[in-house]
Amino acid sequence: MNDKVNLEQAFSQFSEYWSPQVAAELNGQHVRLAKLKGEFVWHAHENEDEMFLVIRGELTLRLRDRDVKLNAGEFFVVPRGVEHLPIALEEVCVLVFEPAETLNTGNVRNERTRTDLERLDR
Contact set with a copy of itself (CB under 8 A): 1-8, 24, 26-27, 29, 31, 48-51, 55, 68, 70, 73-77, 79, 82, 97-99
At its nearest, how many Å lie between a copy of itself and the CB of residue 45?
10
At its nearest, how many Å lie between a copy of itself and the CB of residue 57?
15
At its nearest, how many Å lie between a copy of itself and the CB of residue 26?
4
Nearer to a copy of itself, 107 or 111 (CB): 107
73's CB contacts (< 8 A; 6+ apart) are: 54
Nearer to a copy of itself, 86 or 111 (CB): 86
Nearer to a copy of itself, 66 or 111 (CB): 66
- How buried is residue 68: exposed, middle or buried, by Cβ count under 10 Å (0-12/13-18/19+)? middle
* Separation between Cα atoms, residue 44 and residue 104, nearest integer Å: 9
Nearer to a copy of itself, 37 or 80 (CB): 80
Q: Is the dihedral of CA 50, 10, 4, 103 positive or negative?
A: positive
At its nearest, how many Å lie between a copy of itself and the CB of residue 87?
15
* Separation between Cα atoms, residue 3 and residue 67, nearest integer Å: 37
The answer to whether the beta carbons of residues 32 and 58 sit under 8 Å apart is no
